[in-house]
Amino acid sequence: MIPEATVARLPVYLRALTALADAGIRTCSSEDLATAAGVNSAKLRKDLSYLGSYGTRGVGYDVDYLRYQIAREIGVTQDWPVVIVGIGNLGHALANYSGFRSRGFRVVALLDADPERHEEIVAGVPVRPFADLEAIAREHAVAIGVIATPAGSAQDVADQMVAAGITSILNFAPAVISVPDGVDVRKVDLSIELQILAYHEQRKAHEHARVDADDHGAAALAVGGDA
Amino acid sequence: MIPEATVARLPVYLRALTALADAGIRTCSSEDLATAAGVNSAKLRKDLSYLGSYGTRGVGYDVDYLRYQIAREIGVTQDWPVVIVGIGNLGHALANYSGFRSRGFRVVALLDADPERHEEIVAGVPVRPFADLEAIAREHAVAIGVIATPAGSAQDVADQMVAAGITSILNFAPAVISVPDGVDVRKVDLSIELQILAYHEQRKAHEHARVDADDHGAAALAVGGDA
DNA sequence: AAGAGTTTGTGAATGGGAGAACAAATCACC
DNA sequence: GGTGATTTGTTCTCCCATTCACAAACTCTT
Ligand SMILES: NC(=O)c1ccc[n+]([C@@H]2O[C@H](COP(=O)([O-])OP(=O)(O)OC[C@H]3O[C@@H](n4cnc5c(N)ncnc54)[C@H](O)[C@@H]3O)[C@@H](O)[C@H]2O)c1
Ligand SMILES: NC(=O)c1ccc[n+]([C@@H]2O[C@H](COP(=O)([O-])OP(=O)(O)OC[C@H]3O[C@@H](n4cnc5c(N)ncnc54)[C@H](O)[C@@H]3O)[C@@H](O)[C@H]2O)c1
């Protein structure tokens, strides 16, 4: 049983290993890989220890071997079929995204409720009616669905996906969706990320204001610290 | 000092409150809001307690009042100017995204290194040369930058952003970027999210296989449990 | 073959967040 | 004005994750 926090970092390690392999590096230490992945080396080693003992003390890790082991653990040694629902601005970008194929996923269908969008072909895949979801999902044994519709439709789309046998959903719509037990949902939310940045940005601004005030001889001792 | 986990949820509460307000609801309990935000009500109350005491015991929270307080805490009562670098598939979708304006952000510039993209106008904003970054960032006092270039350019773009005075970066490129202290980076990574889903999907499949085997009378006792 | 130098894997300590549970505060009603 | 119902704010406990630190294991040199 691998901790959730570790699972979330394995894809980062996988990418870093791929970059190292592309650079012709065949062996790396936990320190090297940690730097490439942007984490602490102790954390990296502990994470890898959950998978097994794939390194060699005094030497490090074989890049290709470790890469295969992580890919196997994640489950991306074969391709996963994926459907995308909502082929608007974002849906088009996702459909055109070449990184899907190279990272273990294959877009088998693009679906949209708007009849005007049907017959359009995006990145070689035709846009089909949303009503075809279940047939397509069953035919290709699709387990993963991506929601790129407006927020108001997200719950309905999720319900239909679940009914079609999809058990993992990636939701780009800014809406909380509820699903039965056994179905995983992850969300990607631009506005939330920006607002988190804005919060910290605002704190930096306040901090600067305080420091500036100090510089100008204001009553520094009267201003409380951060702690 | 608000815990990071709480900061990450405040935007979710803000969105839920906006939805409640749009539905004409003027007062809500922590239970109501927690349901709308998809969290536990105890967690919600504890989160809100870091901001202050904005509820009324026995009654609940005034939707508009709480919404304003959270918006103020996050820092989205005024608009933050934002620049987007890399106006390809994803950059176009982001530039066209209407959710920016309504959530406290204003796209002041779109930048791309490719001269062919210049003179193009996306969502009313012209695409300008990447070299103009510093001038534009200084002019509009831009603190937040979005990277939507290929991974290979991400570090370079980040360096230029930092040099231009940007102190918060949202990175869509699948690359680890390093920045000086005082600069915040958040990443949005489609492949990582899909791979996390794939991991759990694979585990579900194994679990089903095990249960199926049991159903068919295989040696259940000989199969190890999960623990 | 032995010792010096590396690097992994992991036990132990620390820190932070999640959730249960309850006292304090408010309202509605009489 | 008093009583019961409701809901917040907070305390306490537990659990997970991060980090430190080091023994075990390996390589290279002499
Ligand atoms: N564009 C972005 O950069 C961006 C960024 C962050 C989040 N988002 C979110 O992603 C979602 C999509 O954004 P967009 O800009 O592509 O919107 P869009 O309006 O361009 O596209 C939405 C598409 O979904 C389709 N659709 C609507 N209801 C549907 C249904 N029930 N079933 C199937 N298809 C349906 C529409 O026909 C349309 O083609 C929105 O929720 C948006 O908030 C977008
Ligand atoms: N398209 C998607 O749905 C999607 C999804 C997830 C992640 N991503 C990531 O987002 C990034 C952009 O994806 P895309 O599909 O839009 O790619 P794209 O190739 O369509 O667009 C990239 C744009 O960046 C510009 N660019 C390149 N180097 C630059 C530089 N140094 N300075 C300024 N501009 C530069 C290019 O001219 C191009 O216009 C990639 O890193 C990709 O991996 C995209």
Report which of A161, A163, A169, A201 is spatially closest to residue A188, judged by C-alpha positions.
Answer: A169
Do B70 and B125 reside in the same domain of the chain? no
pLDDT for res A208: 72
Do B184 and B85 reside in the same domain of the chain? yes
Identify whether the C-beta of residue B58 lies closer than 8 Å to the C-beta of residue B88: no
Do A177 and A195 reside in the same domain of the chain? no
CA distances from B194 to A30, A143, A163, A170, B31 (A): 25, 11, 20, 7, 31
Which residue range is the domain that position A145 belongs to? 80-188
Under 8 Å CB-to-CB from B211, ≥6 apart: which residues?
none
The pLDDT-based confidence of A206 (bands split at 50, 70, 90) is: confident
Identify whether the C-beta of residue A159 lies closer than 8 Å to the C-beta of residue A180: no
Domain-terminating residue out of B59, B74, B89: B74
Shortest CA gap A218–chain B (Å)? 23
Q: Whose CA is nearest to atom 43 of ligand 1?
A: A173
| Residue A174 to residue A187: CA distance in whole angstroms | 8
Do B100 and B180 reside in the same domain of the chain? yes
Report which of B144, A200, A23 is spatially closest to residue A15, judged by C-alpha positions.
Answer: A23
Mean pLDDT within A196-214: 83
DSSP B154-216: HHHHHHHHHHTT--EEEE-SSS-----TT-EEEE--HHHHHHHHHHHHHHHHHHHHHHHHHHT
Distance A86 CA to ligand 2 centre (A): 21
For B27, the 3-state DSSP assignment is strand
What does the buried/exposed string (b/e) look like for B82-116 if buried means 16 or more CB atoms within 10 Å of the residue's CB? bbbbbbebbbbbbbbbeebeebbbebbbbbbbeee
Report CB contact under 8 Å: B104, A144.
Answer: no
pLDDT digits (tens, 9 = 90+) for A187-198: 999 999 999 999
Q: In this structure, what are the phi and psi dihedrals at residue A148, rounded to the nearest 5 degrees?
A: -130, 35
Do B119 and B99 reside in the same domain of the chain? yes
B36 closest CB neighbour out of A97, A176, A192: A176
Mutational pocket test of ligand 2: of B90, B134, B171, B190, the residue with most ligand atoms within 8 Å of the beta carbon: B90
Task: Judge whether residue A217 has pLDDT over 70.
Answer: no
* pLDDT, mean over chain A: 93
Do A112 and A178 reside in the same domain of the chain? yes
pLDDT digits (tens, 9 = 90+) for A54-111: 999 999 999 999 999 999 999 999 999 999 999 999 999 999 999 988 899 999 999 9
Do B96 and B70 reside in the same domain of the chain? no
CATH of the domain at A135: 3.40.50.720
Domain-terminating residue out of A50, A74, A98: A74
Closest-approaching ligand to the CA atom of B161: 2
A195 closest CB neighbour out of B74, B96, B178: B74
Q: A143: how many CB neighbours lie within 10 A of its CB?
A: 22
| Residue A179 to residue A31: CA distance in whole angstroms | 41
Do A176 and A127 reside in the same domain of the chain? yes
How many domains, in total, are found in chain A?
A: 3
Give pLDDT tens digits along chain B (227 positions).
Answer: 899 999 999 999 999 999 999 999 999 999 999 999 999 999 999 999 999 999 999 999 999 999 999 999 999 999 999 999 999 999 999 999 999 889 999 999 999 999 999 989 999 999 999 999 999 999 999 999 999 999 999 999 999 999 999 999 999 999 999 999 999 999 999 999 999 999 999 999 887 776 766 655 444 434 433 33
Do B51 and B87 reside in the same domain of the chain? no
Question: Which nucleotides in chain D have some atom under 7 angstroms from a protein Cβ?
Answer: 5-11, 16-21, 24-27
CATH of the domain at B61: 1.10.10.10
Do B151 and B195 reside in the same domain of the chain? no
Enter the DSSP assignment of A223.
S
Report CB contact under 8 Å: A11, B195.
Answer: yes
Do A57 and A156 reside in the same domain of the chain? no
Q: What is the pTM of this model?
A: 0.93
Distance B91 CA to ligand 2 centre (A): 7
